[in-house]
Amino acid sequence: MKEKKCVYIISELSALALSIKKQVETLGFSAVPIFNPMEGIHLCITNKPYAVISDFSFNTIMGLEVLQQIKIKYNDIVSILLTNSENHPDVKRAIDLGCNILLKPVELKKLEEALKGEPKQEKNDKNLKNVIIVEKSANIRFQLKKLIKVPSEIVETINPFEFIEKYFLKQWDLIIFNVDNDYMSVDESLKTLIEKKVKPEICLLLAFEWTRLKEDKFISKGFSNFATIPLNESKISPIIDTILQYGSKR
């Protein structure tokens, strides 16, 4: 007999969790209600269920944060956020994270659609490339933006720690990251990129100088796209074009 796919339902409201559990089981899945969000995060990371459904908010944490923590470990998990309204900023952020949104009370047909794992998409953003530039110099950011020749939504930040937070809120097509920044050393930058499982094939890494030793460290971890500051636009442009054309498909 084929094993049923498992769905975790995280909510402090037992009546809500148990009600959704019955609906999930009606659709042919197994379901586990979890009433503590931190326990829910731990169990999801440990067991990797097929899907996780999180309530919108808890006493100590928001549902979006619950799903973020799980997606740090398993970005491909089917994730669903319950909400009373689609107008809250967390709803847009959850969609960027790759989650489906379900309005309460939950309709069985909508639940079935959400469990298929096809997250809601913003129609206007469908054909845009998602680009983030982590660089403190406004002039360098301006130079880089000129080299992006396809329709893109570009996010700029000077702080790599802000990038770490934003990394899990979108499916990025291009990441431009200055490893010589004011917040961490080059080695710490590399360690951070590895720990957060940033995809090397979509990265263009900047530094004020690329020594052979420094390059070798990054190449050994799969990062092979480099550019030196001051920028040589004729060399960088083909790299950006290639990443945006092929990205993680390579």
pLDDT of res. 140: 95
Length of the chain: 250
Helix and strand counts by DSSP (H, E) for the chain: 10, 10
The CATH code of the domain at 6-121 is 3.40.50.2300
The SS3 of residue 218 is: helix
CA 212 to chain centre: 32
In the chain, CATH 3.40.50.2300 covers 6-121, 124-249
Whole-number average pLDDT of the chain: 90
Return d(Cα 242, Cα 238) in angstroms, integer.
6
Strand order in the sheet with 51-54: 30-34, 6-10, 51-54, 78-83, 100-103
8 A C-beta contact, residue 129 and residue 153? yes
Chain position carrying tokens 């923590």: 69
Chain position carrying tokens 């971890």: 221
The SS3 of residue 61 is: coil
Binned at pLDDT 50, 70 and 90, residue 163 comes out as confident
Q: Would you state the torsion angle of the CA atoms of residues 8, 13, 19, 23, taken in this order, to the nearest 10 degrees?
A: -30
The yes-or-no verdict on residue 123 having pLDDT over 60 is: no
Q: Give the list of residues 6+ apart from residue 75 with CB closer than 8 angstroms, or none.
A: 98, 168, 197
Domain 124-249 fold: Rossmann fold (3.40.50)
The yes-or-no verdict on residue 208 having pLDDT over 90 is: yes
Structure tokens at 28: 């042919």
Give the residue with greater pLDDT, 88 vs 53.
53
